[in-house]
């Protein structure tokens, strides 16, 4: 059985498609070669709209929003902005929208706080802990210089955040218009990722927690080198299967709306288990994080993707350590070597 896509044609910039009663699908462009769009959603609310996710801070996104607000959103007021998580393509324009419409940002606490923390890195020098982390993973000096030069880029893609927010907690019911939407929190891609589930409408807004055609990045970052986000990710996917019924139309942040939630969750879990096995298979002889890329990625990893690839690689290695299937030891230079116990 394959996933099915009842709305195969995405809306053009500034346009909207209704995918469920009162639920509009809009698209914002992203300035990235690999991933050129993010889906955002407008849900009819009392005398206006609740928007879910906002796009990255760019002039294009501002223009997209202006034509959407004047066109399919009929200049009705924006009552509230909900963000699934703190990545710039989701939260980037939240401050721009909430200030313009004098409304509030709603999200989970860790997404809001983590975003404030990352935005505050803009203008700072790359920290010694970060340099140590990537050297330990096996990076050479050219890669370290690239990291230092790019450090703090997060904040440039985020319009000044609102200085306060409304916290959403797992399990909470949000009333949007006549509909009840349940907050379902997942972890691993971001610290406290918010999905919204409307059982009556049979709709789930999945953010980056469940994507139909690509896999979400699950990474370890220098701020918490021993984190095990992959275990959290796998637990979250299994929990979602128990909490959200299989008959929903899933509205993901990338690609198209689809049916087949449980099948997709199973496939995502199986894919990571296969990759964990492949990485474990590499550890007969000691390896660094950068030495197991071939077990994880089909294509060679260039310098642009090195940070993400290293984060994913360490996520798989830390998960194996948690399962007792790997151990690691630093050498005299501080580089970490992983092998089977
Ligand atoms: Zn994301």
Q: What is the pLDDT of residue 304?
A: 87
What is the distance in A from the centroid of ligand 1 to the CA of 142?
27
What is the distance in A from the centroid of ligand 1 to the CA of 103?
23
Q: Which of 230, 181, 190, 232 is nearest to 208 (CA)?
A: 190
The two tokens of residue 22 are 């009162």
Each residue's pLDDT tens digit, 167-214: 999 999 999 988 999 999 999 999 999 999 999 999 999 999 999 999
- Alpha-carbon dihedral of residues 106, 218, 337, 304, nearest 10 degrees? -100
Each residue's pLDDT tens digit, 292-326: 999 999 999 998 899 999 999 999 999 999 999 99
Buried b (16+ CB within 10 A) or exposed e, 283-318: beeebbbbbbbebbeeeebeeeebbebbbbbbbbbb
Q: What is the pLDDT of residue 2?
A: 84
Each residue's pLDDT tens digit, 254-282: 999 999 999 999 999 999 999 999 999 99
pTM for the structure as a whole: 0.96
What is the distance in A from the centroid of ligand 1 to the CA of 219?
11
First to last CA, the chain: 39
CA–chain centroid gap for 249, Å, is 19
Q: What is the pLDDT of residue 32?
A: 80
Q: Is 148 helix (H, G, I), strand (E, B) or coil?
A: helix
255 Cβ neighbours under 8 A, 6+ residues apart: 211, 212, 213, 214
Residues with CB under 5 A from ligand 1 (ion): 87, 208
What is the distance in A from the centroid of ligand 1 to the CA of 331?
34
Q: Which of 59, 16, 61, 4 is nearest to 41 (CA)?
A: 16
What is the distance in A from the centroid of ligand 1 to the CA of 168?
18
Taking the C-alpha atoms of residue 248 and residue 197, their distance in angstroms, rounded to an integer, is 9
**Residues 44/37, Cβ–Cβ less than 8 Å:** no
Taking the C-alpha atoms of residue 72 and residue 69, their distance in angstroms, rounded to an integer, is 7
Q: Which of 174, 169, 247, 170 is nearest to 204 (CA)?
A: 247
Confidence of residue 1 (pLDDT cuts 50, 70, 90): low
Each residue's pLDDT tens digit, 9-28: 999 999 999 999 999 999 99
């Amino acid at each position: 059985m394959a996933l099915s896509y009842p709305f195969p044609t995405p809306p053009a910039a500034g346009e909207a498609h209704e995918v469920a009663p009162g639920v509009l699908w809009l698209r914002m462009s992203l300035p990235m070669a690999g991933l050129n769009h993010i889906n955002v959603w407008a849900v009819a609310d009392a005398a206006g709209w609740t928007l879910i996710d906002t796009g990255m801070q760019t002039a294009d996104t501002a223009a997209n929003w202006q034509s959407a607000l004047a066109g399919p959103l009929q200049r009705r007021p924006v009552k509230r902005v909900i963000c699934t998580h703190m990545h710039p393509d989701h939260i980037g324009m939240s401050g721009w929208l909430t200030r313009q419409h004098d409304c509030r940002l709603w999200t989970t606490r860790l997404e809001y706080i983590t975003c404030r923390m990352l935005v505050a890195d803009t203008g700072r020098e790359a920290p010694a802990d970060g340099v140590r982390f990537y050297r330990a993973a096996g990076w050479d000096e050219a890669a370290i210089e690239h990291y230092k030069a790019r450090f703090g880029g997060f904040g440039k893609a985020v319009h000044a955040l609102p200085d306060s927010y409304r916290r959403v907690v797992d399990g909470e019911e949000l009333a949007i218009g006549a509909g009840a939407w349940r907050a379902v929190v997942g972890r691993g891609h971001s610290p406290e990722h918010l999905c919204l589930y409307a059982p009556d409408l049979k709709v789930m807004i999945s953010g980056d927690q469940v994507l139909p055609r690509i896999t979400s990045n699950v990474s370890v970052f220098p701020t918490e080198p021993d984190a095990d986000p992959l275990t959290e990710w796998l637990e979250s996917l299994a929990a979602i299967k128990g909490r959200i019924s299989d008959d929903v139309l899933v509205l993901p942040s990338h690609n198209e709306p689809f049916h087949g939630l449980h099948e997709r969750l199973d496939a995502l879990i199986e894919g990571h288990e296969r990759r964990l096995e492949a990485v474990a298979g590499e550890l007969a002889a000691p390896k660094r994080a950068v030495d197991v890329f071939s077990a994880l990625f089909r294509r060679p990893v260039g310098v642009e993707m090195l940070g993400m690839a290293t984060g994913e690689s360490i996520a798989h290695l830390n998960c194996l350590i948690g399962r007792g299937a790997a151990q690691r030891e630093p050498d005299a230079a501080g580089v970490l070597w992983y092998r089977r116990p």
